[in-house]
């Protein structure tokens, strides 16, 4: 098989590796109900996620509500942790892709806007059989994606220059992160957003299925 057009990979987590939307939606609806606020549908949450818990909560809480957003965010974190991610699973085709990348010795990492401890726990529980050189989520004092700071830190962990890394994700945030960090932006179409958002924000490649990643280096 010809060489891939990158030497290492950074994956987003939610919507890219992990089908986690139901657990996120369930936990936020539990938090909203605690304060007497209306729930949202799964499809509505699809457009809310991707930029961390605080922004998710601001989008979920009605604008005319007097309930403090930070209290709802805390309730979400509590509900999410207590539930234990029962519905979160790898997207179809992801395990086989990770097997193939591991067999070829391609170094991999995960970078998410999910809180760091949640990110590490989900990766450990659902993707623990594969080796990720680095796993990072939202951390105090470090700007979230699309700021490139964390992506560049991960590049150092992988011992590769950004130009030799691909960043794989499902949202505009991920494509902007890749571009800001000087990495190849690869958008996935099985996640929480659509083709137009990914293309508009600079995706260089689009994948309809995980196995298509391994074909990027093949001659057409």
Return the active site residues. Answer: 12
Nearest-angstrom CA–CA distance, 9 and 159: 12
How crowded is residue 160: how many other Cβ atoms within 10 Å of its Cβ? 20
Nearest-angstrom CA–CA distance, 139 and 154: 14
Task: Look at strands 89-90 and 18-19 and give their pairing.
Answer: antiparallel
Nearest-angstrom CA–CA distance, 132 and 158: 10
How crowded is residue 40: how many other Cβ atoms within 10 Å of its Cβ? 17
Burial class (CB in 10 A: 0-12, 13-18, 19+), 104: exposed
> With b meaning 16 or more CB within 10 Å and e meaning fewer, what string describes 175-187?
bbbbbbbbbbbbb
Nearest-angstrom CA–CA distance, 72 and 56: 10
**Backbone φ and ψ of 69, nearest 5°:** -60, -35
Rg, C-alpha atoms of the chain: 17
């Amino acid at each position: 098989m010809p060489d891939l057009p990158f030497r290492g990979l950074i994956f987003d987590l939610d919507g890219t590796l992990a089908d986690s939307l139901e657990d996120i939606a369930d936990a936020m609806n539990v938090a909203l109900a605690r304060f007497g606020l209306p729930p949202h549908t799964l499809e509505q949450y699809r457009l809310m996620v991707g930029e961390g818990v605080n922004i998710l909560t601001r989008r979920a809480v009605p604008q005319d509500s007097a309930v403090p957003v930070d209290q709802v965010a805390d309730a979400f974190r509590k509900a999410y942790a207590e539930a234990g991610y029962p519905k979160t699973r790898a997207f179809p085709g992801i395990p086989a892709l990770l097997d193939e990348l591991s067999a070829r010795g391609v170094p991999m990492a995960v970078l998410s806007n999910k809180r760091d401890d949640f990110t590490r726990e989900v990766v450990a529980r659902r993707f623990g059989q594969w080796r990720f050189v680095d796993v990072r989520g939202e951390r105090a004092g470090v700007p979230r994606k699309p700021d490139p700071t964390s992506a560049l830190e991960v590049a150092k962990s992988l011992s590769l220059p950004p130009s030799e890394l691909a960043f794989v994700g499902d949202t505009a945030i991920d494509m902007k992160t890749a571009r800001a960090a000087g990495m190849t932006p690869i958008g996935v179409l099985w996640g929480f957003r659509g083709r137009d958002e990914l293309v508009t924000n600079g995706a260089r490649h689009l994948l309809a299925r995980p196995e298509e990643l391994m074909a990027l280096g093949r001659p057409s």
